[in-house]
Amino acid sequence: MRPVPTLLSLLTTALLAAPALPVDADNAVPAAESAVTIQPVAAPEGPVEVPSETVPQAVSKQGVAPETDPEADAEAEAEPAPANDVPRYLIQKSNSAVHAAMLSPGQRALLAAMPDSFRLPVHARTAPYAPPSAFAALSAADDGKARLDDNGAIYGLGRGLPFPEILSNDPQGGLKAIWNHLLRWRGTGRSRSTVQAVVSEDGTLSLVNVHERSRFLRGIDADAPQRMPLLTQQMFGIAAPPRLAGNLKLVHESLYGVVKAWQRSPDALLSKLRTTTEAGDDTPVIGSDGLYGEDQREGFSGSPERWRWKLAARHELLVPWAAERFHARDRTLEAVLTARHPDAGVLRYEPRRVLQVDALLDADRSGPWPKRSYYIDEASWQVLLVEFYGRDDRLQRVQEVHVRQFGDVLLPAVEVIYDLPSRRYLVSGLETRSGDTVLEAPAAEDFQPGPAVDWAKSIGAVPSPR
């Protein structure tokens, strides 16, 4: 198997093909040189101030500023990603002011916090995403049926997307947009075996092997949520490291925000699952060291009812897209997951139209992030970027959802969460082998406590009794 080209070699190819693109060797991001060590990661020492943007208004010809205007790129006609898809230009701290209109506040904060190494490789816009024609037809036929109550719950749901058209001045526009994300086309289900990693400031990796099985009932039976009203069934099993192996969680999520969950911990004397109330919202994902909450899966998961939602703006932004290179199938983990951020050679951004939706936590609810900003792709309704603000209204974390298209399914393949105060980041969904993702719905009977334990034993996530 051929190794993935380095960013420098990709840019060299681009330079030969298009002389107008200024690139130099300083833009290559070196791979980490330290070996992988599985160990706990130190807790953050408290929030730090993200420096404000103080960048020059112009960049010399020796820099990485493009000859092309990024806003013009945003208006360019969509085209499929070519086989030799290479960056058109790079954005770094020194030229970020030139591209500020195409960057979110979170992206500008990342560039400011890591001025010497963080890069956004910007590619040509690919063809627009479209769900299956049958789902699109159901969305059009049922347009206008869905209603929202004062608490944010949805009623009168049809069989397609609940709100195909959202006006910019709609007072419920933000809530409608997040419901579109929750009820978008996701296919029928999937099975995945991936790596979750917490990367400390010095590049030390704390690794977790995660197995996932998911079943999306709207993809299997469009009328199912009205009858049950069950939306998704998911289970997650941990096979490594030894201190976490044996964790197993089974979750049934309802249309109306009710989450029913079962869990087994590694120190449990019995292999059976027991019901748990620790599910959804800010419940930490197993092995995430507090960097990843369950309602952050796929950008946002669970009930929107504890938030007040506002459609803040529509933008053309540079967002993660077409993440075919973001894996570790033919590279080492330490080469992909470098200190402070992933290697720029696996990252890919392109201009897309997004809705910015701001969420404020209800006054009578508690949570670590009173304010979040979501950037939702207007074609797929997939959340692509999230910004998390602390109680002091300072930006604390930035989440990216790197998507990959499989036929008519847009998979939220890899998620990256940057914690600005601790200078750490988390990566979830990283594949290390071909075939680690299968887009098929497991059987419904598999998502019961007994069969879930049998599945976990088969993958080594729950040891067999001695």
Residue range 226-271, pLDDT digits in tens: 666 789 999 999 999 999 998 999 999 988 777 899 999 887 655 7
Distance CA 380, CA 411 (A): 11
Which stretches does DSSP call E strand in 92-204?
120-122, 147-148, 154-155, 189-199
Q: Return the structure tokens found at 235.
A: 């289970």
Distance CA 302, CA 250 (A): 14
Radius of gyration of the chain from Cα atoms? 22
Long-range contacts formed by 52-56: CB under 8 A, 24+ apart: 52/112, 53/96, 53/97, 53/100, 53/108, 53/112, 55/93, 55/94, 55/95, 55/96, 55/97, 56/94, 56/95, 56/97
Residue 74's pLDDT is 40
Residue 417's pLDDT is 98
Question: Looking at the whole model, is its pTM more than 0.85?
Answer: no
439 near 214, Cβ under 8 Å? no
DSSP state of 63: S
pLDDT (tens digit, 0 to 9) for every residue of the chain, 466 residues total? 444 444 444 443 443 333 333 333 333 333 332 222 222 223 333 333 333 332 222 222 222 333 334 443 444 444 456 667 899 999 999 999 999 999 999 999 999 999 999 999 999 999 889 999 999 999 999 899 999 998 888 988 888 999 999 999 999 999 999 999 999 999 999 999 999 999 999 999 999 999 999 999 988 877 766 666 789 999 999 999 999 998 999 999 988 777 899 999 887 655 789 999 999 999 999 999 999 999 999 999 999 999 999 999 999 999 999 999 999 999 999 999 999 999 999 999 999 999 999 999 999 998 999 999 999 999 999 999 999 999 999 999 999 999 999 999 999 999 999 999 999 999 999 999 988 999 999 999 999 999 999 998 888 776 544 4
Distance CA 385, CA 318 (A): 10
Distance CA 349, CA 292 (A): 22
Q: Which domains does the chain have, with CATH numbers?
A: 1-24+62-461 (2.50.20.10)
Distance CA 132, CA 180 (A): 15
Phi–psi pair at 421, nearest 5 degrees: -65, -45
The DSSP element (H or E) to which 8 belongs, if any, is helix 7-17
Per DSSP, what are the bridge partners of residue 264? 248
Share in percent of the chain as helix, strand, coil (round to 5): 20, 30, 50
Distance CA 3, CA 9 (A): 12
The DSSP element (H or E) to which 217 belongs, if any, is helix 217-220
The DSSP element (H or E) to which 253 belongs, if any, is strand 248-254
Distance CA 242, CA 456 (A): 15
Instruction: Return the closest-CA partner of residue 247 out of 283, 294, 298, 211.
Output: 211
Distance CA 95, CA 16 (A): 22
Residue 255's pLDDT is 86
Distance CA 293, CA 285 (A): 5
